[in-house]
Structure 1
Amino acid sequence: MKEKNCKALLISAPSSGSGKTSVTASIARWHARLGLKVRVFKTGPDYLDPMVLQRASGHPVYQLDLFMGGLEHCRALLAEAALDADLILVEGVMGLFDGKPSSADLAAAFGLPVLAVIDASAMAQTFGALALGLQKFRSDIQLCGVVANRVGSAGHGVMVGEGLPDDLPLIAALPRDASLTLPERHLGLVQAIELPGLDALLDGWADAWGAAVAPGFEFEAVRFEPQPVFATSPLLLGKRIAVAQDAAFSFIYPANLDCLRALGAEVLTFSPLQGQSLPDCDALWLPGGYPELHAETLNQHPSFFADLRRHLAADKPLLAECGGMLCLAMSLTDGAGRLHPMAGILPGQAMMQRKLSALGLQSIAWPECEQGSPLRGHTFHYSNLATPLAPIATASNPNAGKAAEALYQQGSLRASYIHHYFPSNPAAIAAFFLGDKSYVS
C-alpha cells in the first residue's frame, strides 16, 4: 500500500446537538453530486449517524476509535480510503475535546484539519469568543474554519462572523430550517432505512451548503501512511456465519463483517422481519437493534424462534449483543408497557426503561482472549435484563464509568449488552465462532 495525499476534514463542534451530522452529510452529498468519491468516517461508537452518512456519500461508513480499534487500525482504515477517495470526511463525537479519547485526539493523531460547527441560533458576538476558544485550547490541532449553524437571517450570519480572527474564517452560515431536520428516538436518530424522504432531505442539506459555502474554500490535503487493515490468519476458512440484518438487528459495524471475511468466513445475512429463515450455517450473530419496536413482527415469523432453538440444540455458536440478547429472553416489555413473549432461550425478562440504563466504552476478557489482550466495544441501552444467570466475565470501563456489562454463557450461546468491535481481537472472535472452547491464539 502506497502513501497518498488526500483532501480531508474532521467536522466537530462545542457540544452534541450542534449539527455535526447534518453538516457532514451536507458536505458529503454536495461533493458526491459533483461526481467526487467521498469517504466518510464516524468518530467513536455509533450506528445511527453512519447510516445517514452512508446514504449521503454512497459508501459504507467506518468507525475511527482510538480505544476500540487502536491507532494503527484507524491509520489503516484512513490509508485504505485515501487510495481512491477524492475527499475524506470524519464526523466527530460530542464536543471537540469531550471524552477519552476525544475527537481532538483523533485529529492530532492524523493531522486532520478541524471544521467547527457552532449553533449560532441564540448568540451574536459571543460566537467569535467560542470559536477562538476552540482554536486556542490545544496547540496540537488546527482549526481551519467555522460553520455558523441555524442562523436566523443573512444579517445574523454576518454578525456572528465579524468577531472571528483572520486565521479562522467563517466557511458557511447555514440558515435555520425546520423542514430540514431528522426525527429522533431514544437511542438517537431514526434509522435511515425507516426514512423514505431521506434522499430529498439530504439534497436539501446539500443545496443549503452549496448556497452558503464561502467562495474559494478549499479542503487541505493530508498524507496518510500505509498500514494493512487486517493482518490475520484465515482461522474461519470454510465456516458459514449467519448475521441477522434488518431494522430490528441493524447495529453492525462494517469492520466487523470485514473482519469475519478476513478470517475466511462466508457471511450470510438474513432478515427475520421479512420472514426469512435462518440460513444453513456453522455459527450465528444476532447484533443489536430495535427488537422492542418489532416484537410483534418477530413473533409472527413462522420459524425464527424455533430456528434459534434448533441452532443451539446442535451446539452451534450464537453471539447475541444487546437487542439480539433481548430477543432471546423469556419476554420483553416495550416502552409502552406491552409484554411480548420472546424466544424463551435465555432465562430472564427484559424491560425497556424511560431513562438511559448504561453508556460507555467497554473492555472485556473473553475466555478465548490471551492475557492482556481483551475484546473492546461499547454499551448504550435503555433496557434492563433480569436474569438468574451468573456472568462468566464482566467488562471494565476505561474511563471509570459505572457501565460494566456482564457476559453470559449458556451452552453454545454467548450474550451481553456489549457491542463488540471484532477487529480489536480477531483471534478471540474466531475461537468462539469455531466452537473450540480450548482454542487460544
Structure 2
Amino acid sequence: MTTNPRCCPAMLISAPASGQGKTTVTAALAYYHRQQGRRVRVFKTGPDFIDPQILAYASGQPVYQLDLWMMGEAHCRDLLYRAAGEADLILIEGVMGLFDGDSSSADLAQALAVPVAAVSDAQGMAQTFAAVAYGLANYRPGLAFAGVIANKIGSAGHAKLLQEALPAQTPLIAAVARDDAVGLPSRHLGLWQADEIGDLDTRLARAAELLNSYTPCQLPAPVSFVGVSIDPPPHLLAGKRIAVARDAAFSFIYQANLDCLQAMGAELVFFSPLKDCALPEADSVYLPGGYPELHLQALADNTAMKQALIRHHQADKAIYAECGGFLYLLQTLADIDGNQAAMAGLLPGRARMQTRLANLGMHSLQLERGEIRGHSFHFSTLETTLEPVASSVAQRSFGHGEGFFRSGSLQASYLHLYFPFNPRLAAGFF
C-alpha cells in the first residue's frame, strides 16, 4: 500500500570517481542551507559510517544510509518519504563514481526518481569538463540529471570557460574555488571522524562561502516522494536495557540500527570503553565497529572495563560485537607497526592490522532465524581457534565470507549488519 506523495527539493550528489569532493560539497550545501534557516536532511549512498558523521555535523540532523540491496527499495522509499515530511531540502551523497558498483548511485537515483548533480574536479580542465559532464548525463537513458558542480576551479574566468562549454541542458549548478582550507583529512578507512577535526565548523563555513563565489546557490527542483506502508518491527525487546559503546574507538554504527532497537522496545544507554571504568546497568552490550587499533594502549590500560565485560559475560548476559568491537573482544590486537596490546580476552585469538585491505563488500548472512544483510570493510587479519557457527556470502566475486562466532551469550563477527532488514533476527543478538 502506498501513501499520498510528499514534495521536497532534492538531488543526489555524485561524481565521475572517488576523490572529486562529493563529501565536502554535500556538507557545504547542507551547511549553507541550514545557515539560511532551512531544515536539511542528508542521506549517504551505501554502507558508510564516516562520511555521515561529517554530514550530520553540517546538517544538524542524523544521517541515514540508502542502499537498494542491503536495505531494500521499500525501506529506502520509506526513509525518504519521512524526511520529505519534515525537510526543506533533501541531499543524498553518492558513493564512488556515478555508475560504479552493483548497487550504484545511478541505480539508486533512477529507482527513486531523484535527479543527479555531478561534482567534478575541474583542475587542469576546460572544454573536457563539458565532455565528462555530457558523458555522465547521457550514459544511461532515463537517468534524471540536474547539472554539474565544478570543484577546485582556479578563477572566475575558469568558471566562465567551463559554463560556456557545457551543453544548454546541463547547467553549472555551482563552481567552488580551490582552497586547501576546506579539505577534509583522511586515513586508511576514509575521512577522519567529525569529532577529530577540530576546525570542522570553520572548514564547512568556508566551503559554504565558496559555493556562492561564482553562481548563486539555489534550491534544486522539488521531487515527489511516495511512501510505502511498512509494518513496524515486533516489540521483542520491551523492558530490555542495551549498553551501546560509543566513543572515538567505537563509532561505526547505523542510526537505523539504534532506531530499530528502540522501536522494538529497548532502552539504550551509552558508555565509553576508552574512559569508563564500569558498564551501565544493562541486560546486554552492543560493541560496534570503529578504530580500536588507534587506541590500543588506552583500551589495554582500562582493565576495569575489560573486567566488567568479563563479569557481564560470566553472568550469561548477551554481548553483540561487530568488526572493531569484535577485535576488542579478542586476546590481543596489533597495529600496522606491530605494536601489540591485550584486549578483553573474551574470545580466543589475535588480530593484526595490515596496510592492505583484507575484505570489502556486501554480505548476506543466514542464521537460524533467517537472512540478514550487511557489509564488511577491514584491514585486519584474524587468527583464532574458535570455529564459526556460520559464514556469510560475499556479493562480490573477489570477496570472501566472514565467520560468525558464538561463545555462550556472546555473538560476534567482522560484519556490520543492518538490523531493519530482519528485526526479529537482530533482536536475538540482545
Q: Is the TM-score greater than 0.5?
A: yes
Aligned ranges 1:181-200 → 2 under 5 Å = 181-200=183-202
Once residues 280 and 165 of structure 1 are traced to their aligned partners in structure 2, the CA distance between those partners, rounded to angstroms, is 62
Q: Is the 8 A contact 2:89 2:219 kept in 1?
A: no
Over the aligned positions, Cα root-mean-square deviation in angstroms equals 1.4
Once residues 230 and 300 of structure 2 are traced to their aligned partners in structure 1, the CA distance between those partners, rounded to angstroms, is 40
Once residues 86 and 64 of structure 1 are traced to their aligned partners in structure 2, the CA distance between those partners, rounded to angstroms, is 19
2:133 alignment partner, one of 117, 124, 131: 131
Once residues 185 and 242 of structure 1 are traced to their aligned partners in structure 2, the CA distance between those partners, rounded to angstroms, is 29
Once residues 323 and 130 of structure 1 are traced to their aligned partners in structure 2, the CA distance between those partners, rounded to angstroms, is 39
| Deviation sequence 1:332-376 (CA, Å, 0-9, x none) | 11122211111111111110001111110111012222xxxx110
Once residues 348 and 303 of structure 2 are traced to their aligned partners in structure 1, the CA distance between those partners, rounded to angstroms, is 22
**Residue 67 of structure 1: how far off its partner (Å):** 1.0
| Deviation sequence 1:72-131 (CA, Å, 0-9, x none) | 100010011011100000000001111111101111111101101011113221111111
Alignment of 1:201 onto 2:198 = no
> Which 10-residue stretch deviates more, 122-131 or 28-37?
122-131
Q: Which runs of 4+ in 1 moved over 6 A?
A: none
Q: Is the 8 A contact 2:175 2:213 kept in 1?
A: no
Alignment of 1:3 onto 2:13 = no
2:95 alignment partner, one of 72, 88, 93: 93
For 1:28, the equivalent position in structure 2 comes to 30
- Call closer, same or farther: CA 1:310–1:110 in 2, change over 3 Å: same
Aligned ranges 1:102-121 → 2 under 5 Å = 102-121=104-123
2:154 alignment partner, one of 152, 155, 164: 152
Aligned-residue identity in percent? 52
**Residue 218 of structure 1: how far off its partner (Å):** 4.1
For 1:278, the equivalent position in structure 2 comes to 279
Once residues 258 and 71 of structure 2 are traced to their aligned partners in structure 1, the CA distance between those partners, rounded to angstroms, is 14
Q: Secondary structure at the match of 2:261?
A: helix
Once residues 358 and 406 of structure 2 are traced to their aligned partners in structure 1, the CA distance between those partners, rounded to angstroms, is 22
| Deviation sequence 1:184-221 (CA, Å, 0-9, x none) | 11100011011111111111111111223347x44111
Once residues 163 and 49 of structure 1 are traced to their aligned partners in structure 2, the CA distance between those partners, rounded to angstroms, is 32
For 1:437, the equivalent position in structure 2 comes to none
For 2:18, the equivalent position in structure 1 comes to 16
For 2:357, the equivalent position in structure 1 comes to 356
Q: Is the 8 A contact 1:26 1:206 kept in 2?
A: yes
Match of 1:97, as an amino acid?
Answer: F
Q: Is the 8 A contact 1:236 1:263 kept in 2?
A: yes
Once residues 379 and 311 of structure 1 are traced to their aligned partners in structure 2, the CA distance between those partners, rounded to angstroms, is 27
For 1:399, the equivalent position in structure 2 comes to 396
For 2:344, the equivalent position in structure 1 comes to 343
Once residues 382 and 125 of structure 1 are traced to their aligned partners in structure 2, the CA distance between those partners, rounded to angstroms, is 40
Match of 2:195, as an amino acid?
Answer: I
Alignment of 1:327 onto 2:328 = yes
Q: Secondary structure at the match of 1:68?
A: helix
**Residue 294 of structure 1: how far off its partner (Å):** 1.0
Once residues 23 and 4 of structure 1 are traced to their aligned partners in structure 2, the CA distance between those partners, rounded to angstroms, is 26
Once residues 263 and 62 of structure 1 are traced to their aligned partners in structure 2, the CA distance between those partners, rounded to angstroms, is 19
**Residue 177 of structure 1: how far off its partner (Å):** 1.0
Once residues 257 and 179 of structure 1 are traced to their aligned partners in structure 2, the CA distance between those partners, rounded to angstroms, is 34
1:387 alignment partner, one of 384, 387, 392: 384
Once residues 341 and 229 of structure 2 are traced to their aligned partners in structure 1, the CA distance between those partners, rounded to angstroms, is 46
Match of 2:86, as an amino acid?
Answer: D
Once residues 10 and 432 of structure 1 are traced to their aligned partners in structure 2, the CA distance between those partners, rounded to angstroms, is 34
**Residue 228 of structure 1: how far off its partner (Å):** 4.9
Match of 1:365, as an amino acid?
Answer: Q
Q: Is the 8 A contact 1:360 1:403 kept in 2?
A: no
Structure 1, gaps ≥5 residues long: 434-441
Q: Is the 8 A contact 2:11 2:220 kept in 1?
A: yes
**Residue 329 of structure 1: how far off its partner (Å):** 1.0
Q: Is the 8 A contact 2:55 2:63 kept in 1?
A: yes
Match of 1:323, as an amino acid?
Answer: G
Once residues 34 and 395 of structure 2 are traced to their aligned partners in structure 1, the CA distance between those partners, rounded to angstroms, is 38
> Which 10-residue stretch deviates more, 244-253 or 394-403?
394-403
Once residues 204 and 85 of structure 1 are traced to their aligned partners in structure 2, the CA distance between those partners, rounded to angstroms, is 24
Structure 2, gaps ≥5 residues long: none
For 1:418, the equivalent position in structure 2 comes to 415
| Deviation sequence 1:363-416 (CA, Å, 0-9, x none) | 1012222xxxx1100011111111111111111122333232111111111111
Q: Secondary structure at the match of 1:380?
A: strand
Alignment of 1:408 onto 2:399 = no
For 1:241, the equivalent position in structure 2 comes to 242
Q: Is the 8 A contact 1:379 1:403 kept in 2?
A: no
Once residues 15 and 414 of structure 1 are traced to their aligned partners in structure 2, the CA distance between those partners, rounded to angstroms, is 37
Q: Secondary structure at the match of 2:71?
A: coil
Alignment of 1:46 onto 2:43 = no
For 1:438, the equivalent position in structure 2 comes to none
Once residues 201 and 276 of structure 1 are traced to their aligned partners in structure 2, the CA distance between those partners, rounded to angstroms, is 35
* TM score, norm. by length of structure 1: 0.94
Q: Is the 8 A contact 1:358 1:379 kept in 2?
A: yes
- Call closer, same or farther: CA 1:102–1:115 in 2, change over 3 Å: same
